[in-house]
Structure 1
């Protein structure tokens, strides 16, 4: 059966319809076509256009953050290297100043293990930044557990930092 013979009954039915019904079917087809055109072409384009300003602001803020991080990384790279003793002093000072009694520092070769108990998230983040910048030590391993206390969230665990060679 060919396509032409399959469409023949539809053509005969179309030819038998009055002009008013033909116009109604044409109008309905035109409305369906307009709806499909809107749904799959114009509508998504307009939605993208409306959200472009917000996306540009978000991307601009991300770019500024990344550029600040790049400047910070370049500043760290330009700093002269620290010796082992200076790094230990800087790490000890940062630990006492930022974490206080909630941390204990133990040296083992070219690594420092810091055991933290009930350290606040802000203090821990500040200490990590100081350890990275001032002592130029890198975090090698972190085994931390978050705990809830009446005063808020705290961290317990061990951080292992790499120090410069002796």
Structure 2
């Protein structure tokens, strides 16, 4: 006797009430499996879709912004090394003042900026150097300098500004 025949014989031996209970149990197990395998994952995906869509839209917007920036940088006229060096000197003088010194090296196409207690607007200056002089940092050796505490009579709630010391090696455009 094979397995199918044994199951049929057992089913026939069950009373009507027992058959109904087995049928209800099998139905409940089948419905539970249907829920776990087919319906619950689909409903989770459906409820998470708006948030995921918004996240992807924001990411797409950010990528489009970066693409526009890259295109704007590519569209800028190329500077020769001398013009870039002059623009970098001007930005160091105007933005960093006496707290920085620019030294150029003729061989490797780089300029070294030495910083002494430079205010915390260094990131703004780096952005300006990138835009105006097409100079990008190639090497940085920076440390936080001790900031002067606010004077005792000062009612200024602002914490002391961060100051930077060290050197930045800026890569300049290649000579043409």
Equivalences, count: 162
With normalisation by structure 1, the TM-score equals: 0.73
Unaligned 5+ segments in structure 2 are 148-158
CA distance in 2, matches of 1:119, 1:39: 61
CA distance in 2, matches of 1:154, 1:50: 49
Answer with 98-107 or 50-59: which moved more.
98-107
1:106: which partner in 2? 103
With normalisation by structure 2, the TM-score equals: 0.70
CA distance in 2, matches of 1:44, 1:153: 51
* Paired residues for 1:23-34 under 5 Å: 23-34=20-31
Answer with 111-120 or 44-53: which moved more.
111-120
1:18: which partner in 2? 15
Measured after TM superposition, the shift of residue 165 of structure 1 is 2.7
Measured after TM superposition, the shift of residue 93 of structure 1 is 3.6
Indicate how the Cα distance of structure 1 residues 93 and 23 shifts in structure 2: closer, same or farther if over 3 A, else same: farther
Match of 1:162 among 145, 148, 171: 171
1:58: which partner in 2? 55
CA distance in 1, matches of 2:9, 2:116: 87
Indicate how the Cα distance of structure 1 residues 99 and 10 shifts in structure 2: closer, same or farther if over 3 A, else same: farther
CA RMSD of aligned residues (A): 3.3
CA distance in 1, matches of 2:119, 2:44: 43
2:134: which partner in 1? 136
Indicate how the Cα distance of structure 1 residues 85 and 50 shifts in structure 2: closer, same or farther if over 3 A, else same: same
Deviations 1:60-112 (A, max 9, x none): 22222222222222222122111222212322343455556665543223112
Indicate how the Cα distance of structure 1 residues 50 and 12 shifts in structure 2: closer, same or farther if over 3 A, else same: same
Answer with 61-70 or 88-97: which moved more.
88-97
